[in-house]
Structure 1
Amino acid sequence: MIRRTTAARGLALAAVLSVGLAACSTTTESGGGDEGGSQDPLVVGTILPLTGTLAFLGPPEVAGVGLAVDDINAAGGVLGNDVSLEQGDSGDTTDTSVAQQTATDLISKGVQVVIGAASSGVSLNVVDQFTEAGVMQISPANTATDLSGISDFFTRTAPPDTVQGAALGSLILDGGHQKVAMIVQDEAYGNGLRDNIQEAIEAGGGEVVYGASGAGDEFPPGESNFSGIVNDALAAEPDAIAVIAFEETKAIVTELTSQGWDFNGTTYFCDGNTASYEEDFDPGTLEGVVGTIPGAQAPDEFRDRVSGWYEENEGEALSDFSYAPESYDAVILAALAAVRGEGTDGATISENIKAVSGAEGGTEVTSFEEGVEALEAGDEIHYVGQSGVGPLNDQNDPTSAFIGVYKYDDKNVNVFERSIEGEVAP
């Protein structure tokens, strides 16, 4: 018998913003509950940022994965066996050898599914390794459009940048801005998000006066000297600046401050840098800055549980919850796909993950345990998780998602304001 557990439920209330066309129709899965491949115990690997410029995202993602594994095992495991976890570091795009070595290590340990990476650029460097090994890769945070449909063995629980870009571009226009400078990191994530923001700004009658697509103003990952870049950006006389970067944001803010930029109501961050800077800048430096992070605001019950998991296992409570819901949902979807296909191998998970995400309709479930019960009753299922994303489409992208909008207070802390819902264009 599967033991009954109580899963965190609920989504933040959202203000709806139309940012795309209706979602793509989905293809039929081949699993259908038929006998699958290997039924060895499921081994979940992680390739998440324990070091590097996105290390601030590591704790909530690690905690989301860990809590999901514990919840699955508390509900009886996958096909009668407990799920085990192998953790690994993704590093960042300044040293791609870190992720490549982690991928090699995880494959050698027999993982059938891997959660990560956080950086789209990192995933682009390892997706072929996992595909060739037949390992299902599920990113909780990748948003680059280059990853849409890249492999049958790659999917994500975060939306592509068409959604965040449209939302952020609309927020900039709604702020009354028409001349926008964009300080952009030169890699797949930065360039792709910039292109989508620019498209939204131009569609609304605005102009990108610095950092536009094709202008050649991007900076390399790991850059530390932004004197010339900021000088050139301000020389274009923008009325707003969008910063698309990771850890480099601290140096960018410092340089903007030194050159007299007023951040309040004029500056916009994205998911790569919408973090707390309470310890980094003088109080009030970032007050009024607006940032976006894909994903609905996690319900309080889930935040308490995932923070409790991290404190118990890593010795401290979480201070940031970015992509914890998406990480949790990635593991649950993989486990439900294995149950539906009656196999724990990567191919079976790949063949069944769209169906359990709701691509074929079915009974709405909010936990692994509920999903297993419905599958064992012969039902198709639609897993509605913590992140609020819609069913996967034929590009393995969520068909809809929420974008959280945050505003910085006088302590330089990003405070959640509301959610915007958008759809992924076909």
Structure 2
Amino acid sequence: MQAMKLRIPKALAVGAVAAAMLATTGCGGILGGGGDKTADSGPIKIAAVIPMSGSSAPTGVYMKNGMQMAVDEINAKGGVLGRQLSLDLEDGACDPTQAAAAANKAVSNGAVISVGGYCSGATLPTLPIFAKANIPMIIPAANSQELVNQKLPNVFMINGTGSQQAAAAVKFMAKDGVKSVALVDDNTSYSKDIATETKKDLQADGTVKVALATSVTAGESDYSSAVHDIMGANPDMLYWTGYYQEGGLIINQLKAAGYKGKIMVADGSVDPSLVKIAGAANAEGVFATMTQTPDTIKGAETWIANYTKAFGSAPGPYSTQSYDAVRVAAEAMTQAKGTGGDAVIKALAGIDGFQIFSGPLKFTPEHTLSSGGFQILVVQGGKFILKDALA
């Protein structure tokens, strides 16, 4: 049976983090030097714990390809510090236990920096593992506020946070004339985080009424109970903050029940699979809060063409962020003049103006982007396209 995305509530996610931390202290010292290795020869190993199996595997492929593209380009120009980069790809499967094991494996393999992280709930248990090994983490996709709240000095995020996504959602709802909204999450760290922040922002603003706030159990096939509750609340808009597998099913079943209101999804549902699962007609007109995708980036045509030529298919969500994560890692090691964890972490914190797809990079004191870069997409003709470029 394929491993699925994280299907646990916040309390269990915290427990998984604690378990992972215990694992790092009881493994006979295998984590002793990952981020402190100062060997000046041989390939520089970069860890990438991303989903290569389970329902999020399609996104994992986009991420892997984006990372490999950056590695290949950097190596073709001589590498970093005269050494070639080597991508250590480990399958996290969006599962906390498997992701923790994958992180431990990457550390024991000699990785000196991490550029992975898609599902927030599966990324959380890897934080203490990489922190114990003093390995810097540049997270390209996972964006739960819980990642920031750990306040670990080695963790940096180049995707907008859940709080920033919620703010973008609220701004668009008000702009689009929405009067009431149903908030539905799947109880994972990522999904619950966005729903909670959105509800808080809506209540503070007062323009849009929260008609319903509820959670579903991820991994099921029948969401009739949630559909019944949504129909009963009769909101102008449904905002689904979970992943595309469940999101597609909810949209399909909601439309079958006669729902006529607007639908918006969070970034975990921005994938062609959502349209397939929901049905093209049902998905038409669905909005999404999302950071940049290749198709919405001005001037990315050459990059898209190069990606397509290299991998035989067009790039998808988080391919550009993953590409940039590797580039940022290379820049930090270059500025640090080495791969030691402390020096690279200091270099990352000091980056000012390094150009990535979202603009000149400068981390906040919390090691997040100063602007989340969220925009509004809409499904037209079966594809997510740009609707509104929010600040």
- Distance change in 2, residues 1:397/1:283 (3 Å): closer
Q: Structure 1 residue 204: deviation in Å?
A: 4.4
RMSD of aligned residue pairs (Cα, Å): 2.0
2:218 equivalent in structure 1: 221
Conserved in 2, the CA contact under 8 Å of 1:185 and 1:220? yes
Match of 1:169, as an amino acid?
V
- Give the alignment partner of residue 249 of structure 1, picking from 238, 247, 250: 247
Conserved in 1, the CA contact under 8 Å of 2:248 and 2:275? no
- Give the alignment partner of residue 321 of structure 2, picking from 323, 326, 335: 326
Deviations 1:105-149 (A, max 9, x none): 111110111222111111112111111122222110121111115
Q: Any idea what SS the aligned residue of 2:306 has?
A: helix
User: 1:338, 1:229 → 2: CA distance?
Assistant: 48
User: 1:231, 1:53 → 2: CA distance?
Assistant: 26
1:365 equivalent in structure 2: none
Match of 2:54, as an amino acid?
G
Conserved in 1, the CA contact under 8 Å of 2:335 and 2:347? yes
1:288 equivalent in structure 2: 285
Match of 1:98, as an amino acid?
Q
1:210 equivalent in structure 2: 212
- Distance change in 2, residues 1:389/1:52 (3 Å): farther
User: 2:346, 2:38 → 1: CA distance?
Assistant: 11
User: 1:117, 1:249 → 2: CA distance?
Assistant: 21
Q: Any idea what SS the aligned residue of 2:338 has?
A: coil
Q: Any idea what SS the aligned residue of 1:56 has?
A: helix
Match of 2:342, as an amino acid?
A
Q: Any idea what SS the aligned residue of 1:88 has?
A: strand
Q: Any idea what SS the aligned residue of 1:134 has?
A: coil
1:415 maps to 2:355: no
Q: How many equivalent pairs are there?
A: 346
- Distance change in 2, residues 1:232/1:142 (3 Å): same
Match of 2:286, as an amino acid?
V
User: 1:405, 1:389 → 2: CA distance?
Assistant: 21
1:96 maps to 2:67: no
**Structure 1: segments with no counterpart, 5+ residues:** 1-35, 212-216, 359-381, 422-426
Match of 1:227, as an amino acid?
S
2:146 equivalent in structure 1: 146
User: 2:308, 2:105 → 1: CA distance?
Assistant: 28
User: 1:236, 1:245 → 2: CA distance?
Assistant: 20
User: 1:48, 1:387 → 2: CA distance?
Assistant: 21
User: 1:317, 1:271 → 2: CA distance?
Assistant: 21
1:400 maps to 2:367: no
Conserved in 1, the CA contact under 8 Å of 2:161 and 2:372? no
Q: Any idea what SS the aligned residue of 1:400 has?
A: coil
**TM-score normalised by structure 1 residue count:** 0.77
Conserved in 1, the CA contact under 8 Å of 2:160 and 2:291? yes
**TM-score normalised by structure 2 residue count:** 0.83
User: 1:39, 1:398 → 2: CA distance?
Assistant: 32
Q: Structure 1 residue 201: deviation in Å?
A: 2.6
- Distance change in 2, residues 1:53/1:179 (3 Å): same
Deviations 1:371-421 (A, max 9, x none): xxxxxxxxxxx2111233641111111112421321112x43212234222
Q: Any idea what SS the aligned residue of 1:45 has?
A: strand
User: 2:126, 2:199 → 1: CA distance?
Assistant: 29
Match of 1:61, as an amino acid?
M
2:269 equivalent in structure 1: 273
- Distance change in 2, residues 1:38/1:400 (3 Å): farther
Q: Any idea what SS the aligned residue of 2:321 has?
A: helix
Conserved in 1, the CA contact under 8 Å of 2:63 and 2:322? yes
Give runs of aligned pairs for residues 286-365 of structure 1, distance below 5 A: 286-295=283-292, 297-298=296-297, 299-309=300-310, 311=311, 316-318=312-314, 320-356=315-351, 358=352
Instruction: Give the ranges of 4+ consecutive aligned residues of structure 1 lying more than 3 Å apart after TM superposition.
Output: 36-41, 277-283
Give runs of aligned pairs for residues 20-169 of structure 1, distance below 5 A: 37-40=38-41, 41-92=43-94, 95-148=95-148, 150=150, 151-169=152-170
User: 1:190, 1:279 → 2: CA distance?
Assistant: 21
User: 2:202, 2:361 → 1: CA distance?
Assistant: 26
- Give the alignment partner of residue 233 of structure 1, picking from 230, 235, 248: 230
User: 1:128, 1:156 → 2: CA distance?
Assistant: 16
Which is bigger in relative contact order (C-alpha 8 A, separation at least 6)? Answer: 1
Q: Any idea what SS the aligned residue of 1:407 has?
A: strand
Conserved in 2, the CA contact under 8 Å of 1:340 and 1:352? yes
Match of 1:82, as an amino acid?
Q
Q: Structure 1 residue 72: deviation in Å?
A: 1.1
**Structure 2: segments with no counterpart, 5+ residues:** 1-36
2:199 equivalent in structure 1: 198
Match of 2:357, as an amino acid?
Q
Deviations 1:203-242 (A, max 9, x none): 142111211xxxxx31233233211111112211211111
